[in-house]
Amino acid sequence: MIFVIAEHKDNKLKPITSDLLVFAQRAGRDFGQPVTAVLLGSGTSAMAEELKSKKIDRVIAADDPNLADYNPDVYVGVLKSILQNEKPFLILIGHTTQGLDFAPRLSVALRKPLIAGCVEYEKQGDRLVLTRQIFNSKMNMKTAVRGEPPYLATASPGAFPGDEVEAGGQAELIQFPVSASGPGRRKVVERVEAPKGKADLTAAPIIVSGGRGLKEKANFALVFELAEAMGGSVGASRPVVDAEWLPREYQIGSSGQTVSPKLYIAVGISGAIQHLVGMQSSRCIVAINKDPEAPIFKVAHYGIADDLFKVVPALTRIFKDLRQA
Ligand SMILES: Cc1cc2nc3c(=O)[nH]c(=O)nc-3n(C[C@H](O)[C@H](O)[C@H](O)COP(=O)(O)OP(=O)(O)OC[C@H]3O[C@@H](n4cnc5c(N)ncnc54)[C@H](O)[C@@H]3O)c2cc1C
């Protein structure tokens, strides 16, 4: 059995859950393993129904007020009790802030290996081989799992295309009774949302990102206008942040955020390795740069070798027109 630990926020499944389901559906077919989604939370029935509609075998829902806020102690305790009663082959968790917080604890609690940051897998005979990125995504490393399952793996957001999750299943819904274990060693005191406009870039499907080629802070308006016309979010290279044109949370790259949107538009960004490691797994990369030799064109699927001050306003006009049409 392959288990997907669903991740959610504000009663909505996060995109990483679909990515994990795609991983599980593919691996399930290859290894002849059924798929179960595990949902922990409080008031989760709508999300459980959504998971049930996917082509998987079971949904196990642990619905309890103690699980209303994410808490690693309580999460790991409940997951351990669920998984110990099952025969898991593979347990899939998001390589997200939350997943990275509880996956190692769960691995220790189950005394089973964890392969973190997986972007692909393959079947070699009966063996599962997981590919993970190392050295700031400069290299891929293949890890063959040994010993008795279960194996735990975290999967990087965007590595598996969540929009390809297969629907149309008749999954059985099982309610898992949570025993009164208390609130755990940690208590959520307050949840502070990021200020409006500062989108979570790791979950953004479209990112328009600007670099030093924009020359000065005021010109960044071009990037914001294009992003708005396309319904996307804004990102930036490090010099933009260092020059205080934008706050740190916009930075993409080795010392910023790692993103993998469906569409990444790099505007006036040269494509230094420290930037590439943060965005090269994007599904479609469009580069706008006046230097045809700029390294960004090596990873771009589409390139526009021209002056951004000409290209970006023209693109914005097209997208605005398309929206109005
Ligand atoms: C330890 C370390 C960590 C780092 N971490 C990061 C990181 O997390 N993220 C990051 O981005 N960088 C990071 N860097 C910096 C990185 O090495 C590069 O310096 C940086 O990515 C370059 O940013 P840029 O592409 O915006 O600027 P530049 O390299 O200056 O490129 C500007 C580009 O704009 C183009 N251009 C100029 N004018 C126009 C025009 N009118 N029309 C079209 N194109 C134009 C130019 O041809 C050029 O290719 C890090 C560096 C170090 C040493």
52-90 tens-digit pLDDT: 999 999 999 999 998 999 999 999 999 999 999 899 999
Nearest CA-CA partner of 120 in 141, 91, 99, 146: 141
Å from CA of 57 to ligand 1 middle: 47
Q: What's the pLDDT at 11?
A: 92
Residue 254 near ligand 1, beta carbon < 6 Å: yes
Residues 266, 41: Cα–Cα separation, whole Å: 38
Q: What's the pLDDT at 195?
A: 59
Å from CA of 240 to ligand 1 middle: 8
> Is 70 exceeded by the pLDDT of residue 197?
no
Pocket test for ligand 1, best of 138, 212, 265 (most atoms within 8 A of CB): 212
Pocket test for ligand 1, best of 270, 276, 296 (most atoms within 8 A of CB): 270
Burial (CB < 10 A; 0-12, 13-18, 19+), residue 82, is buried
Pull the structure tokens for residue 249. Answer: 């949370």
> Is 90 exceeded by the pLDDT of residue 1?
yes
> Is 90 exceeded by the pLDDT of residue 114?
yes
Backbone angles phi, psi at 220, to 5 degrees: -65, -15
Residue 8 near ligand 1, beta carbon < 6 Å: no
> Is 70 exceeded by the pLDDT of residue 34?
yes
Pull the structure tokens for residue 152. Answer: 């735990």
- Beta carbons of 261 and 204 less than 8 angstroms apart: yes
What's the pLDDT band for 182 if we cut at 50, 70, 90?
Answer: low
Residue 290 near ligand 1, beta carbon < 6 Å: yes
Helix (H) or strand (E) holding 68: none
User: At residue 106, what is the residue type?
Assistant: L
In sequence order, what are the residues at sequence separation of 6 or more whose Cβ sits closer than 8 angstroms to the Cβ of residue 263? 205, 206, 207, 230, 232, 282, 283, 284, 286
Pull the structure tokens for residue 293. Answer: 């030799």
Residue 305 near ligand 1, beta carbon < 6 Å: no
Instruction: Report the nearest-CA residue for atom 47 of ligand 1.
Output: 291
Residue 173 near ligand 1, beta carbon < 6 Å: no
Mean pLDDT confidence for 98-122: 95
Q: What pairs with residue 251 in β-bridges?
A: 236
Q: What's the pLDDT at 199?
A: 60
Instruction: Report the nearest-CA residue for atom 49 of ligand 1.
Output: 270
> Is 70 exceeded by the pLDDT of residue 196?
no
Q: What's the pLDDT at 194?
A: 65
pLDDT mean across residues, the chain: 92
Least confident range from 130-139, 154-163, 197-206, 260-269: namely 197-206
**What percentage of the chain exceeds 70 in pLDDT?**
96
- Beta carbons of 222 and 313 less than 8 angstroms apart: yes
pTM confidence score: 0.75
Backbone angles phi, psi at 296, to 5 degrees: -60, -30
Nearest CA-CA partner of 285 in 267, 300, 269, 270: 300
Torsion of CA 299, 300, 301, 307, to 10 degrees: -160
Residues 200, 194: Cα–Cα separation, whole Å: 8
Q: Point out the ligand 1 atom lying closest to the alpha carbon of residue 211.
A: 26
Residue located via tokens 């693109």: 315
